[in-house]
A = this chain, B = another copy of it.
Amino acid sequence: MGADRDDAAEQGTVVTPSAEFPPLDDAERVALGRIGARWHGPRRADDLPVDPTPGRRGGRPLPTRFGRLTAIDMFTVAQPDELVATGAAQLPGNRFGRAVTRIRRTLVGPPLASSSVLYERMRKLVALPVLSSDLLSSVAYGPEAMLAVLVLAGSGALGLALPLAVLLVVLMVAVGLSYRQTIPAYPHGAGSYIVAGDNLGRTPGLAAAAGLMLDYVLTVSVSVAAGVHAVTSALPGLTAWTVPLGVLVIGVLLAGNLRGVRTAGNIFVLPTYAFVVVVLAVLAVGYAKAAGRGFAPVPPPSVPAAEGLGLLLVLRAFSSGAVSMTGIEAVSNAVPAFRPTEWRNARTTLGWMVAMLVALFAGLVGLIHLDGLVPRADETLLSQLGRVTFPSGPGYAILQATTALILLLAANTAFNDFPRLLFFMARDGHAPRRFLHMGDRLAFSNGLVALALTAAVVFVAFGGHTERLIPLYAVGVFLAFTLSQTGMVVHWHRRPGPGRRRRLAVNAVGATLSGLVLVTAAVAKFTEGAWVVVIAVPLLVLLFRRIHRHYATLHRALALHPPPPGPSGPAGFAEGEELPQQVRHLVIVPVARLNRASLRALAYATSLGRPTLAVHIAPEEAEADRFREQWRAWGDHLRLETIVSPYRSVIGPLAHYLEALHSSRPELTLTVIVPEVVLRRRRHRLLHSRAEQRLRAALRTLPGVVVTSVPVHVSH
């Protein structure tokens, strides 16, 4: 873990397409030099039969079979021995693939070059809306989630909302202060995965990552659900279309992100500020009206109690309200995106964000209480508040529109963060390598698709109901909070410095409070859905560890070692440790019948000039005799071995025969040259037995066997 982690910490949150090609470590570099020193082959032929850098000498190469496009259109010469591929060289060779690519490019735009990766810097006034949409949008569903639990104990229990809100404000401030300290400690930016892994070890880091991954998936599902609810509250006719609408929104978000919507896009600025302004207007008008009646609360309509008012219910309400804090970690991930001095600007921005969150959250809970509103299934509380506050005029419509918009942006935040998290995990070998790959729009397409699919499945499975999704939400979020802040405690503990004690204390308070919420949420909402998360996190951690083990083993198996001294012994070398002068060849050509395809394979094999053996598998003795007779008519140019397979199978006996040859001389490299008829039309392949593919699959696992496909193309 150590080396991985240090690398990661050093590389910080830099994203580069070259991450797919990690550099060699020092031991490998030494081994490489020693292998090279003992490498003997024929003299390096610089006089290749063809110029490997076509177009270098100005000559125009022949057009290829694609007609319009010539090689010179596809590659430009950068320097001797280096070509640069143009956009045209990305197109697949077959017509179907080209059509698919064209459609995709129409949808998501032309490919972007690696050099277009932007490392942009944001002003604080831009950074604030970009990074806070996730956090501030939570007030659209957080207070409602809390009250929806309380009202189960009847309308009388709603009064408990005020003390719970005070507790939550304390929690927000504590966690905010705690994250504030992470920023200068990790000035290159670090999310919970890196902070927890760095200070607590691999498993806590992976647990934080698992929590965050669930958090991102649920951010999309919950934000889309709440956004659709904001729309259906204003337009009740659309209620029946909740699920298709939500899936459509997720699809649009996926398409936009595949196109590469930049986080910096100013699209964030207006909706976020508009939402804050509109909600503040609601609060101002609402409190003014309340002041008019001397802050006397309107009694809420009587709702019968469905459950008793017990401790468990209060805890459930508290942890439901705590989802208002999701998104608070965004700034600490994004420190390098600020203008210098980065950490200072980031810290200031975080302060503003928390202040705004506290103002909106506390203001809304208070006003809801004063207006005597009660959660209803068909309309959000914010919508009810809007109708009460702005009985006429465009105010209500603007409130609902900005709410839906900021929730959309919050979901979009997850589309930025989830693939980045997977990228960092893949860089450490904890997630499949394919998440390192940047698609042709420089987006992590695989991560985006994985997020959209998972979120859509969750959304559909829960019928798009925000309140059913909330119980799953809190556990993952607070797991990441707790681990990240515990990591900071360890961080301060290890590093002496001024103010270390105070900082340790602040993070310890944050970690403790987050941990309490985590336990509360996991226990109180276990049966309502939190059990899914409680089970999923350890399973994900196990999966990430398994993946890491696989890549580590593979890396060890493929790592370079210095060549063993001395000449080739009788036992041969391990695969991948031979030098060219140690390779001993035997070429084998399986021939089913004599036609152009098999004669081409035989000519190719013969032209290699190595010991060559032809093998024929016959179903009957009579057929074997007939084939030998044809072989003699051809001239008997190669040694022929016939294997009669009285049970008519071909692949099995051939594989076993090659294995027998290999086991009698393990140091031989057997090159099996398979004639392959390539048909143009896919449907025609149904008419053939695909014996080549089956043979290749059977030979794949044999040690010391190299398979060469010699194609004959049939244009029909």
Contact = CB atoms under 8 A, between A and B. Distances in A.
A262 interface: no
Contact of A48 (B33, B639, B689): B639
A89 interface: yes
16 contacts: A22-B593, A24-B630, A28-B594, A32-B630, A33-B633, A39-B634, A48-B611, A64-B663, A74-B657, A91-B652, A92-B698, A575-B713, A576-B600, A577-B600, A578-B603, A609-B609
Given A74-B660, A432-B687, A677-B558, A713 B703 contact: yes
Interface string A594-637: 11110110111011110111000011111110110010011111
A434 interface: yes
Contacts of A612: 45
A656 interface: yes
A671 to B, nearest CB: 7
Contacts of A609: 41-42, 609
Interface string A96-118: 00000000000000011111000
Interface stretch (A274-282, A338-346, A582-590): A582-590
Contact of A78 (B93, B579, B644): B644
Give the oligomeric copy count. Answer: 2
Contact of A649 (B440, B620, B649): B440
A679 B551 CA distance: 11
Contact of A580 (B89, B597, B606, B709): B606
B603 A580 contact: yes
A451 to B, nearest CB: 18
Given A85-B646, A89-B652, A593-B21, A576 B604 contact: no
A512 interface: no
Given A21-B619, A596-B575, A36 B634 contact: yes
Contact of A85 (B18, B88, B636, B653): B653
A706 interface: yes
A62 interface: yes
B706 A604 contact: yes
Nearest to A605: B580
Given A35-B634, A49-B611, A54-B661, A81 B640 contact: yes
Interface size class of A (residues with CB under 8 A): 35 or more
A707 interface: yes
B596 A576 contact: yes
A113 B619 CA distance: 9
Contacts of A37: 635
A494 interface: no
A10 interface: no
Contact of A553 (B578, B688, B711, B716): B716
Given A633-B36, A711-B700, A64 B660 contact: yes
Contacts of A684: 550
A49 B584 contact: yes
Interface string A513-555: 0000000000000000000000000000000000100110110
Given A576-B599, A659-B71, A607 B594 contact: no
Given A434-B689, A606-B41, A707-B708, A112 B639 contact: no
Contacts of A87: 647
A390 interface: no
A84 interface: yes
B71 A663 contact: yes
A302 interface: no
A45 B639 contact: yes
Contacts of A578: 600, 603
Contacts of A606: 39, 41-42, 580
Contacts of A92: 651-652, 655, 698
Interface in A5-61: 16-18, 20-24, 28-29, 32-33, 35-37, 39, 41-42, 44-54, 61
A162 interface: no
A50 B575 contact: no
A644 B613 contact: no
A63 B646 contact: no
B33 A634 contact: yes
Nearest to A439: B648
A686 interface: yes
A641 interface: yes
A68 interface: no
The list of the 4 closest CB pairs from A to B, nearest first, reads A36-B635, A576-B596, A71-B660, A41-B606
A266 interface: no
B89 A656 contact: yes
A705 interface: yes
Contacts of A586: 48-50
Contact of A659 (B18, B50, B93, B663): B93
Contacts of A622: 18
A678 B575 CA distance: 12
Contacts of A647: 85, 87, 90, 111-114, 440
B712 A558 contact: yes
A661 B50 contact: yes
Given A557-B596, A611-B48, A620-B114, A716 B93 contact: no
A433 interface: yes
A82 interface: yes
Given A611-B48, A648-B438, A619 B664 contact: no
A701 interface: yes
A645 interface: yes
Given A646-B114, A663-B61, A700-B711, A637 B83 contact: no
A627 B21 contact: yes
Contacts of A621: 78
A665 interface: yes
Given A21-B592, A560-B596, A575-B600, 11 more contacts: A17-B619, A21-B619, A48-B611, A62-B664, A71-B659, A74-B657, A82-B644, A89-B656, A558-B595, A560-B599, A671-B708
B551 A65 contact: no
A641 B702 contact: no
A643 B113 contact: no
B554 A677 contact: yes
A550 B716 contact: yes
A92 B702 CA distance: 12
A610 to B, nearest CB: 8
Contacts of A703: 713
